[in-house]
Structure 1
Amino acid sequence: MSTRRARARLGVLLGPPMVWLGVAYLGSLAALFVTALWTQNGFTGEIERVWTLDSFKTLFTVDVYRTIALRTVGVALLVTVIDAVVAFPIAMYMSKVAGPGLRRFLLVAVLMPLWASYLVKAYAWRGMFSEGGLVSSAFEAVGLKSPGYGLTATVVTLAYLWLPYMILPIYAGLERLPNSLLEASADLGGRTLQTLRRIVLPTIVPAMVAGSIFTFSLTLGDYIAVRIVGGTNQLLGNVVYDNVGAANNLPFAAAVATIPVVVMVVYLAAVRRTGAMESL
């Protein structure tokens, strides 16, 4: 009887979230894929619920859309690499060097940017990249031309926005690394770089991959930061936005939106073997 009651309580607790996942989340994805198979009447602009692959044919045959897709994946990879390189020393210092008080302060400092609005942070970077801004002035001070608005500003802004999502998983992975391993490596004559390469990095690879899932996926679907600091450069999110808004071509927008979904499914399948899912 107690077992039945426990199962009933578990069902009551997990029932609503599972219904939400199945109906709202998976249902919306199914609606997305179905809409991508419809078409838009070229004269009336109305959506015709006729099964066709015209949207996907346009997506893969028009050069500009292939370029945008490759640019989006490239930007997502570059943002992920930048965040990993920046996040590792920060997380290493927080977990293995800083004292308890300083560690708590640094954790709050890492989380603090998440308390600010996404738009506020994006427009702050727009101000810094504008003429007379902090970034522009720094480049001019050393005799270099400011990057201004464009792909460079987009990468820098997105890397800043998603950096906490890389720091926290790496920090959690380093926290699970016993200090005794580092001490044993030092006792055996291992140098700092050898210890990092042979002990630390192999241990935190799953945590780093877990952080990359956030940075990579968030960059793939972003369009607001690109519109604010990207200038004329477009990513897939902007194509979806333009076709939902001005063009009102929902089937083609849905077809474009399937690309990040497919890319993330392939990426998750590739990293599943690294144990990154357990580090989330």
Structure 2
Amino acid sequence: MSDVSTASILPGRSGAFGRLSDVFWRRPALLLAVMLIPPLLWLGIIYVGSLIALLLQSFFSIDDFSGLINYELTLSTYRQLLVPTNFDIIVRTIVMAAAVTLASAVLAFPIAYYAARYATGRWKAFFYLGVMLPLWSSYLVKVYAWKLILAKEGILTWAFDRLGLSWLLDGILALPVIGGNSLSISYIGTFLVFVYVWLPFMILPIQAALERVPGNLIEASSDLGAHPGQTFRNVLLPLAMPGIVAGSIFTFSLTLGDYIIPQIVGSSRLFIGQAVYAQQGTAGNVPLAAAFSVVPIAIMGVYLWAAKRMGAFDAL
């Protein structure tokens, strides 16, 4: 329909806003452009632009004598990541992120399975409330609360003592590398807090994936003589894998970049987030901080590519 015939059916409105509305109605592509340009500019300048600036900073170096940034392109800063002290930080962070992701998946699966297959009505609402409720409280409040819970004078130590299991707690804290004087200053405590904080981000994608699994597939597996273990391995787990991978995107990436939890709960050994904060804020070595920041970006880039191949984004 031409603009002339359209105008004869719907005459133009008076006033600036009326005329502007008519223009947008006749040219929907213009309206789409007006709506998309601001968020795209924000994404392109603030987010992508800052990442590009960060990447460029990582190719600079620090003058050892003056402490000033040398703006000549070099790979020497990336070579510093291979120094044993810095490389240990990277390995420590990746191992912790992998352990948190694996533990979260193991804990989340039965909870998500119950919510997807059995919970209905009020129980389903109770499930969502229970999963989402921890997310409504302050992140820092939760972390400091866990520091008090895990402290030597905390309720967890008191519970072990009342149950006569102090020897067990002492044995756990005596473990090399992961132990410490108390749970609040050990890798075990850091691990527990990470799992607690990020667990909801694993439960919800798995629950969404399990709800897509037709119940007749599980019944058919049982009718064909498969025992529960076989049904889990050959039917349920493969179909739920996109949800598990989707949840792992959250838990793995959030653990890789977090610096607050290891700063409050844990030992003095640094993680990548703490190293970035220390190099940028305390040492003033911005290129090395940028190089550390590129590590989780590169890891998550490869991880997201693999997750997309597995169809994980369908469960987000």
Deviation of the 1:136 alpha carbon: 2.5
Q: 1:65 aligns with which of 86, 89, 100?
A: 86
- Cα shift readout 1:25-59 (whole Å, capped 9, x = no counterpart): 11111000111112223343332322222211211
Alignment correspondent of 1:12: 34
**Partner of residue 210 from structure 1, selected from 232, 236, 246:** 246
Local SS of the residue matching 1:50: coil
SS in 1 for 2:267: coil
Q: How many residues align?
A: 279
Q: Is contact 1:150–1:230 with CA below 8 Å preserved after alignment? A: yes
1:16-27 aligned at under 5 Å gives the runs: 16-27=38-49
Q: 1:131 aligns with which of 152, 157, 171?
A: 152
User: Deviation at 1:273?
Assistant: 1.1
Which 10-residue stretch deviates more, 262-271 or 87-96?
262-271
Offset from partner CA, 1:166-221 (integer Å, 9 cap, x none)? 00000111111122222323333333222222211111101110110010000000
Match of 1:257 among 288, 293, 302: 293
Are residue 220 (structure 1) and residue 220 (structure 2) matched?
no
Paired residue secondary structure (1:119): helix
Q: 1:276: Cα distance to partner?
A: 0.7
Q: How does 1:140-159 map to 2 (within 5 A)?
A: 140=161, 141-142=164-165, 143-144=167-168, 145=170, 147=173, 148=183, 149-159=185-195
Indicate the SS of the match to 2:67: coil
What CA distance in whole angstroms lies between the structure 1 residues aligned with 2:72 and 2:124? Answer: 58
Q: Deviations over 1:76-126 (max 9, x none)?
A: 100000000000000001111122210111101100111111111111111
Structure 1 counterpart SS, 2:38: helix
Report if the CA contact (8 A) 1:128-1:135 is conserved. yes
- Which structure is richer in relative contact order (CA contacts within 8 A, separation 6 or more)? 1
Structure-1 residue corresponding to 2:104: 83
Q: CA deviation at 1:3?
A: 9.9
CA distance in 1 between partners of 2:142 and 2:48 (Å): 31
Following superposition, the deviation at residue 250 of structure 1 comes to 0.7
**Distance in structure 2 (CA, Å) of the matches to 1:193 and 1:3:** 59
Normalization by structure 2: what TM-score?
Answer: 0.83
- 1:196 equivalent among 232, 241, 248: 232
Could you tell me which amino acid in structure 1 is paired with residue 273 of structure 2? Answer: G
Q: Secondary structure at the match of 2:47?
A: helix
**Following TM superposition, by how much is the alpha carbon of 1:135 offset from its aligned partner in structure 2, in angstroms?**
2.7
1:30 correspondence with 2:66: no
TM-score by length of 1: 0.94
Residue 131 (structure 2) aligned to one of 110, 129, 137? 110
| SS class of match (1:98) | coil
Amino acid at match of 1:118: Y
* SS in structure 2 of the partner of residue 212 of structure 1: helix
* Cα distance in 1 between the residues matched to 2:78 and 2:26: 50
Alignment match, 1:97: 118
Does the alignment pair 1:40 with 2:62?
Answer: yes
- Between the aligned partners of 1:12 and 1:155, the Cα distance in structure 2 is 46
Q: Indicate whether 1:121 and 2:142 are aligned.
A: yes
What's the CA shift for 1:4? 7.1
Q: Say whether 1:181 aligns with 2:217.
A: yes
| Structure 1, unpaired ranges of 5+ | none
Where does residue 172 of structure 1 map in the other structure? Answer: 208
Specify the SS of the correspondent of 2:152.
coil
- Cα RMSD after superposing both structures: 1.8
- Counterpart CA distance in 2 for 1:154 and 1:217 is 16
**For residue 112 of structure 2, what is the amino acid of its counterpart?**
A
Q: Is the 8 A contact 1:37 1:251 kept in 2?
A: yes
Determine the C-alpha separation between the residues in 1 that align with 2:26 and 2:288: 49
Question: Counterparts of 1:25 and 1:4 in 2: how far apart (Å)?
Answer: 33
Change (3 A) 1:3 1:189: farther
Secondary structure at the aligned position of 1:233 is classed as coil
1:151–1:233 Cα contact (<8 Å) kept: no
| Distance (Å, rounded) in 2 between the aligned partners of 1:38 and 1:135 | 47
Distance 1:265 1:168, change over 3 A: same
Query: Structure 2 CA distance, aligned partners of 1:129 and 1:137?
Result: 10
Q: Which amino acid aligns with 1:29?
A: L
Q: CA deviation at 1:255?
A: 0.9
In 2, Cα distance between equivalents of 1:137 and 1:234: 29
